[in-house]
Structure 1
Amino acid sequence: MPVDAADGSRDLPGLTACSLCSGETLGTADPLPGGQPERLNRLSGAGVARVTFVECLDECERGDVVVARPSGHRRRAGVGPVWFERLAGDGATGELETWLRAGGPGTAPSAALRAMVMERSVAAAEPHPGTQSA
């Protein structure tokens, strides 16, 4: 079932992905037509998360950067986003899907996902002038 943003009854986590580096990790070796952006769009289409692509998350050297945003009720409880690097491929996206279905930010990620978590300092988390935060 596709996610309908106008449906206020859905309290899904969100994903923000960099459109410029999405698919960079696997490159031409990715067997899926549409690559990593297609995998993320499928998560949205399955009702797992709201997916947004932005032009840049200012972490270019980390490739396939994805920010998991907490659902509304978790955000109101003080849960923050989780940043991932090099999150690409069927295995990593499957781990992400399982974690999101379990609640996403605010729940413990699997060991495989923890290996992709980017530690962000307060200074790094602040948006640069002229950019939007995730």
Structure 2
Amino acid sequence: MPSNLESALQAAPGTGSVAAPPTAKPGLTACSLCVGETLGDSDPRVGGQLARLRELEALGVARLTLAECLDECNRGDVIVARSPRSGRRRSGRPVWLERVAGDELTGALASWLDQGGPGRAPVPAALEPLVIDRSNGPAGQVSP
């Protein structure tokens, strides 16, 4: 029986690149200290948000990297979606997101990454309000 994320990928238009070569996969970096923070103990998923992100990697949607801190501690469930090489050649810049938690938002993330992610597909409407503006550096940092 397919998981919720597998179902989201199957239902998403333009998907199907799950079998793409490893170099074509977008990267996904998650803060290991804040992953699961948004839903906390109310998350019905065994293993919580980290299990969802690991499932994305197992499904071949993205390469997952865990970082101890992404310097956005005042947020929660901070992740960075990175372009595959082909997306970077098209000016695909990393996209920082906060509070991406639960099946629905993770499904939107999975569909976007499966379509190529940053530089290859627009950020889905469900994730747009969660984009972190890093133009001035980390939260609370003042530009010189």
Measured against the shorter chain, the TM-score band is 0.7 to 0.9
CA deviation profile, 1:36-57 (whole Å, cap 9, x unmatched): 0100000000000000001000
| CA distance in 2 between partners of 1:56 and 1:39 (Å) | 19
Give TM-score scaled by structure 1 length: 0.83
Q: Helix, strand or coil: the match of 1:123?
A: coil
| CA distance in 2 between partners of 1:79 and 1:38 (Å) | 27
Structure 2: runs of 5+ lacking an equivalent: 1-20, 140-144
**1:69 equivalent in structure 2:** 82
**1:115 equivalent in structure 2:** 129
Please tell me whether residue 23 in structure 1 is matched to residue 27 in structure 2.
no
* Structural mapping, 1:53-92, within 5 Å: 53-92=66-105
Identity of aligned residues (%): 56
| CA distance in 1 between partners of 2:49 and 2:105 (Å) | 10
**1:13 equivalent in structure 2:** 26
- The answer as to whether partners of 2:24 and 2:84 remain within 8 angstroms in 1 is yes
**2:15 equivalent in structure 1:** none
CA deviation profile, 1:62-90 (whole Å, cap 9, x unmatched): 10000000011111332110000001110
| CA distance in 2 between partners of 1:9 and 1:102 (Å) | 14
Give TM-score scaled by structure 2 length: 0.77
Structure 1: runs of 5+ lacking an equivalent: 1-7, 126-134
Please point out which of 23, 34, 56 is paired with 1:43. Answer: 56
| CA distance in 2 between partners of 1:9 and 1:64 (Å) | 25
- The answer as to whether partners of 2:26 and 2:117 remain within 8 angstroms in 1 is yes
| CA distance in 2 between partners of 1:93 and 1:50 (Å) | 15
Report the alpha carbon displacement of residue 9 of structure 1 after superposing the two structures with TM.
Answer: 5.2
**1:4 equivalent in structure 2:** none
User: 1:24/1:9 Cα in 2 relative to 1: closer, same or farther (>3 Å)?
Assistant: closer
In the TM superposition, structure 1's runs of 4+ consecutive aligned residues that sit over 3 Å from their partners are 122-125
Q: Helix, strand or coil: the match of 1:99?
A: helix
